[in-house]
Amino acid sequence: MNAEIISVGSELLLGQIVNTNATFLSKELAELGIDVYYQTTVGDNEQRLYETLKQAHSRADLLIITGGLGPTKDDLTKETVALFVGEELTYHEESLRSIEGYFQRRKREMTPNNRKQALIVRGSTALSNHFGMAPGMVVSYENKAIVLLPGPPKEMKPMFKNELVPHLTKLLGEQVSSITSRVLRFFNIGESQLETELMDILEAQSNPTIAPLASDGEVTLRLTVKHPSEAERLRLLDETEEQITKRVGAYLYGYGETTLFEQLFLQLRQKGCTIATAESFTGGKFSAALTSFSGSSEIFRGGTVSYATDVKEKVLGVSKRVIDEYGVISHHCANEMATCAKETYQADIAISFTGVAGPNPQEGKEPGTVYISIAGFATSPLSFELLLGGGREAVRERAMKYGCFYLLNELKRWNKSE
Amino acid sequence: MNAEIISVGSELLLGQIVNTNATFLSKELAELGIDVYYQTTVGDNEQRLYETLKQAHSRADLLIITGGLGPTKDDLTKETVALFVGEELTYHEESLRSIEGYFQRRKREMTPNNRKQALIVRGSTALSNHFGMAPGMVVSYENKAIVLLPGPPKEMKPMFKNELVPHLTKLLGEQVSSITSRVLRFFNIGESQLETELMDILEAQSNPTIAPLASDGEVTLRLTVKHPSEAERLRLLDETEEQITKRVGAYLYGYGETTLFEQLFLQLRQKGCTIATAESFTGGKFSAALTSFSGSSEIFRGGTVSYATDVKEKVLGVSKRVIDEYGVISHHCANEMATCAKETYQADIAISFTGVAGPNPQEGKEPGTVYISIAGFATSPLSFELLLGGGREAVRERAMKYGCFYLLNELKRWNKSE
């Protein structure tokens, strides 16, 4: 079975809102094992919507249309679908009563255009809207299903999950329960390098299929397996994962919807390890990311954003000798920053960042030059040097992710003493 | 002229990423006066991409395709476009040299599939990629233009603005030059309140049109005027803006693509005012946002992320009496944090944040309770209390924006003494 998603709304074509509905529906359908080959966005225009419907119906088994069910004269999705399938619109009594009740409870006058929201295509199955007024509907036409959902995500999402999915599951039967996906997340390896390392595996594989995806300096591999037996699905996934990690396991940091920072947060908490920071060009980004998790006060002590050079010396305590001799963009300065932060904030470990965000060079070092140091794991701090590409924000973002990745690797080997 | 946007990538059809490219392009094209009637998303599949191309080319004057220019075998956009227009692919020497240079500078091995990124459709105009490897291109075919742009937004956006727009402006001639837009940005007022205050103006207006849009706790009004004379366009915009600001000018903080933080950065620099921070539950977010601008070292001294309570006392210097008597979630604590930060970092002014990010209450205060204090403008610090809604990250994000907005308002009245 394959589906096609049609988003209706001129605000989408004007770029006034981001189409998160298409993303949500695609993801949910993928998890149900339904392939999506096309997403189309079309404005509040009857003729173009009709053409889009006709084409989608000719090539997909299931059409999901969002938007254009509201009360205004711009909203013409159900009118167009009714025209396409050659049916009339009729009032859905339950929805009409529910809309009238809404206005009565709020003691507001119900304008006539609100009645329009209770219209559905004759013969269709209405889908209740518990977060808004317009019902959705499933229209059967030539052995295919055309589903209409409201545009606002807070109405569309619960209607999809609670009203439509049970309906689809009946239509799909076994197919849904015979698919499992697993996402592996990698850092510090590019998409092309990952693909080169795994070329023969990628080419030979058909079940599970392996889909690489690069974004924000990370690469993921989505493994999707089809088999009636759950045990066999897991076995196949484990087998393929093992083949992959044998070669590139050093870059694997997590599974599914996680992030580097979530993994770091979980590792720190699990090991009872407290942390402090000293950030220069990252300006507090690392601390901000780590404190985004509820419970971060258990592991995060605090940090200094030592931005100005004299602040590194006078507030944080980096020695004047190191700054004069090696400059602030150096291994030495990074090491002292980490050591001072660990001391000042009385933490088990501390991480520091110093570097050139750009666009201009500093101390003769080019933009993208980064030093990261970690104190607390060994008698001396461990420091790392990077040369990162991209603009100012990209350099800052990637530097903080590298710091996170280095910390994660060290933490795996570390156990709290005392 | 009308355009059609085609987004290529199976990750979009799997719902793994949100299609912000289509939103960006639609918005930019609308500003150029180019109508967009359809956005289509298609996977990394040659046949379906070919069909999509053929259809779009039959109904639009300008095709903009994003994605599928990368090094992997999934990437087949330019191969498919070449097939469609009946041309070969050929190496773009400049791009090839730039890719080779990238690997040399980073001392990394260049895998053969990276050469593929330098291929362009023969006879097309290459668009330079300053933030990635694959060049874009403009292919002319049957008096229409097919534009190929890379998928990653950080490469696509600058290429669109800096490389493609000058090209399009030539193609479009007068059309573009008879439209002017102006965006007014507001903070601390909701969309419905803004709309209520301006109802009669919004309803009466046709040239300029006024389009409100709410996002991320801010509201913008986009004024778009059409007139052959530039002077008349400006006069009409000024006139309407004056009507608007007479009523809601207190909430207006900037124009166009700016942000609260950019305005703050510019104001601080213009007034030669240096700043320090003391952040608790915002965890460094404010400092990170302010240091995202090149040149921020002129105005940002540094800051303390005083996350743990004892750090507020022992590192930052908040008095034990204040913490014992009023707690850390209080005006008093916020005021001392700001005063200590100003002193420690030797800055003209300092801002502090303390509050409950959630999800759990703290010191009996509910999540969303926020105290912000600003030291340096008057003899005593100015403090503000907020009760913000939303989840943990929303509270942190909105708190830092409110801090920025308060600072901006104070700065407008301030002049450096001595």
- Encode pLDDT of A309-327 as tens digits: 999 999 999 999 999 999 9
pLDDT value of position B33: 82
Q: Can you tell me the mean pLDDT for B179-193?
A: 86
Residue A300 confidence (pLDDT): 98
Q: What is the model's pLDDT at position B203? A: 84
Query: Number of residue pairs across A and B with CB atoms under 8 Å?
Result: 252
**Pick from A348, A350, A392: which is nearest to A370 by CA?**
A392
Task: Answer whether residue A35 is part of any domain.
Answer: yes
Q: Both A251 and A264 in a single domain?
A: no
Better-predicted residue by pLDDT, B360 or B190:
B360
Claim to verify: residue B271 and residue B128 sit in the same structural domain: no
Judging contacts by C-beta atoms under 8 Å, the chain A residues touching residue B113 are: 192, 195-196
- Find the CATH number of the domain harbouring B221: 3.30.70.2860
Rounded to an integer, the average pLDDT of A324-344 is 98
Give A195's contacts in chain B (Cβ within 8 Å). Answer: 71-73, 113
- pLDDT at position B331, please? 98
Q: Taking residues A56-74, what's their average pLDDT? A: 90
Q: Please report residues of B whose CB lies closer than 8 A to that of A294.
A: 357-360, 392
Does one domain contain both A275 and A359? yes
Residues B291 and B403 grouped into a single domain: yes
The confidence score (pLDDT) of residue A132 equals 84
Regarding whether A377 and A277 lie in a shared domain, the answer is yes
Query: How near does any CA of chain B get to the CA of A98, in Å?
Result: 25
Q: Give the gap in angstroms from C-alpha B38 to the nearest C-alpha of chain A.
A: 5
Burial class (CB in 10 A: 0-12, 13-18, 19+), A253: buried
Contact predicate B345/B378, CB 8 Å: no
Closest CB to B302: pick one of A20, A311, A390: A311
**What residues of chain A lie within 8 A of the CB of B74, using their CB?**
212
Across the interface, whether the CB atoms of B22 and A25 are under 8 A apart is answered no
With CA atoms as reference, the chain B residue closest to A393 would be: B292
What is the reported pLDDT for B173? 67
Question: Considering chain B, what percentage of its residues have pLDDT values greater than 90?
Answer: 72
pLDDT tens digits along A251-260: 999 998 899 9
Mean pLDDT across A388-405: 94
Answer for the pair B367, B374: CB distance below 8 angstroms, yes or no. Answer: no
Which stretch of A103-117, B90-104, B197-211 has the lowest confidence by average pLDDT?
Answer: A103-117
| Residue A23 maps to a domain | yes
Chain B: nearest CA to A222, how far in angstroms?
10
CATH number at residue A156: 3.40.980.10
The verdict on a CB contact (< 8 Å) between A302 and B308 is: yes
User: CA B4 → CA B66, B252, B296, distances in Å?
Assistant: 11, 34, 40
Cβ of B294 within 8 Å of Cβ of A389? The answer is no
pLDDT for A418 beyond 60: no
pLDDT at B47: 94
pLDDT at B137 over 70: yes
Q: Which of chain B's residues have a Cβ under 8 Å away from the Cβ of A15? A: 22-30
Which chain A residue has its CA at the smallest distance from B16's CA? Answer: A27
pLDDT exceeds 80 at position B327: yes
Same domain membership, residue A304 and residue A241:
no
pLDDT tens per residue, range A10-37: 889 999 899 999 999 999 998 888 999 9
Position B171 confidence tier, pLDDT thresholds 50, 70, 90: confident
- Contact list, B102 vs chain A (CB under 8 Å): 389
In a domain, B336, yes or no: yes
What's the pLDDT tens digit per position in B264-303? 999 999 999 999 999 999 999 999 999 999 999 999 999 9
SS3 B395: helix
Report residue B71's pLDDT band, with 50, 70 and 90 as the boundaries.
confident
Q: Which stretch of A365-374, A406-415, B345-354 has the lowest confidence by average pLDDT?
A: A406-415
Q: Are residues A341 and A387 in the same domain?
A: yes
Total H helices, total E strands in chain A = 16, 17
Residues A122-163 pLDDT 10s: 999 999 998 888 999 999 999 899 999 999 998 999 999 999
Q: What is the mean pLDDT of residues B404-418?
A: 87
CB contact under 8 A, B308 and A287: no
- As a whole-number percent, the residues of chain B with pLDDT over 70 amount to 98
What phi and psi, each to the nearest 5 degrees, are found at residue B19?
-85, 75
Span A74-86, pLDDT tens digits: 789 999 999 999 9
Please indicate, yes or no, if residue A128 is contained in any of the structural domains: yes
Please answer yes or no on whether A288 and B285 come within 8 Å at the CB atom: yes
Q: How far apart are CA B92 and CA A9, in angstroms?
A: 40
Distance from CA of B180 to the nearest CA of A (A): 16
Q: Which pair of tokens denotes residue A98?
A: 């529910």
Distance from CA of B248 to the nearest CA of A (A): 22
Please indicate whether, in this complex, the C-beta atoms of B301 and A308 are within 8 angstroms of each other: yes
Say how far apart CA A373 and CA A353 lie, in whole Å: 7
- The beta-carbon neighbor of A308 closest among B38, B281, B302 is B302
What confidence score (pLDDT) does residue B150 get?
A: 96
Q: Are residues A9 and A106 in the same domain?
A: yes
Residues on chain B touching A279 (C-beta within 8 angstroms): 284
Asked whether residue B196 is domain-assigned, the answer is: yes
Q: Residues B31-60: what's their mean pLDDT? A: 94
A134 and A80, same structural domain? yes
- A212 and B74 in contact by Cβ < 8 A? yes
Q: Is there a single domain that holds both residue A163 and residue A32?
A: yes
Determine the average pLDDT of the residues in B318-335.
97
Which pLDDT band holds residue A178 (cuts at 50, 70, 90)? Answer: confident
User: Are A110 and A43 spatial neighbours (Cβ–Cβ below 8 Å)?
Assistant: no
State yes or no: pLDDT of A399 exceeds 90: yes
| pLDDT range class, residue B157, cuts 50, 70, 90 | very high
- Per CB-CB distance under 8 Å, the chain B contacts of A67 are none
* Contact criterion met (CB below 8 Å) for A236 and A244: no
Nearest-by-Cβ selection for A213 from B11, B38, B393: B11
Residues of chain A positioned with their CB less than 8 A from the CB of B306: 302
**What does the block give as tokens for A131?**
């977060």
Residue bearing the bigger pLDDT, A401 or B215: A401
B142 in the same domain as B39: yes
Same domain, B44 and B135: yes
* Tokens describing residue A334: 């990074």
What pairs with residue A38 in β-bridges? A4, B42
* Residue B418 included in any domain: no
CB B135: neighbour CB atoms within 10 A?
A: 29
> Rounded to an integer, what distance in angstroms lies between the CA atom of residue A341 and that of residue A354?
13
- Residue B375 contacts residue B342 (beta carbons within 8 Å): yes
Is A182 within a domain?
no
**From the candidates A41, A316, A398, which should be mutated to test the interface with B, based on the most B CB atoms within 10 A?**
A41
How far from the centroid of its chain's Cα atoms is residue B42's Cα? Answer: 26
Which of A255, A275, A299 terminates a domain? The answer is A255
Give the pLDDT confidence of B75-119 residue by residue, as tens digits: 999 999 999 999 999 999 999 999 998 888 877 788 888 899 999
Provide CB contacts within 8 A for A338, sequence distance 6+.
A278, A350, A351, A352, A373, A374, A375, A376, A381
Is 70 exceeded by the pLDDT of residue A222? yes
The amino acid at residue A378 is: A
Contact list, A212 vs chain B (CB under 8 Å):
72, 74
Residue B278 bridge partners (DSSP): B304, B352
Phi-psi region of A324 (alpha: psi -120 to 50; beta: other; left: phi over 0): alpha
Write the residue in B106, B213, B288 that is nearest to A387 by C-beta: B106
Of B199, B34, B268, B310, nearest in space to A14 by CA: B34
pLDDT range class, residue B307, cuts 50, 70, 90: very high
**Closest Cα in chain B, distance from residue A39 (Å):** 5
pLDDT higher for B326 or A228?
B326
CATH of the domain at A378: 3.90.950.20
Among B202, B224, B255, residue at a domain's last position: B255
Residues of B in contact with A357 (CB under 8 A): 294
Residues of chain A with pLDDT > 70: what percent? 99
Structure tokens at B385: 């209390």
- Residue of chain A nearest B301, judged by CA positions: A308
Parent domain of A385: 260-413
| Confidence bin at A176 (pLDDT 50/70/90) | low
CB contact under 8 A, A304 and B305: yes
User: To the nearest whole angstrom, how far is the Cα of B148 from the nearest Cα of chain A?
Assistant: 19
Best-predicted range by mean pLDDT (A87-101, B245-259, B330-344): B330-344
Domain count of the fold of chain A:
3
Residue A73 banded pLDDT, cuts 50, 70, 90: confident
B257: closest CA of chain A, how far (Å): 14
Domain boundary among B255, B274, B299: B255
Domain harbouring A193, CATH code: 3.30.70
Bridge pairing between strands A300-305 and A275-279? parallel
Of A48, A191, A294, the CB nearest to B359: A294
In a domain, B316, yes or no: yes
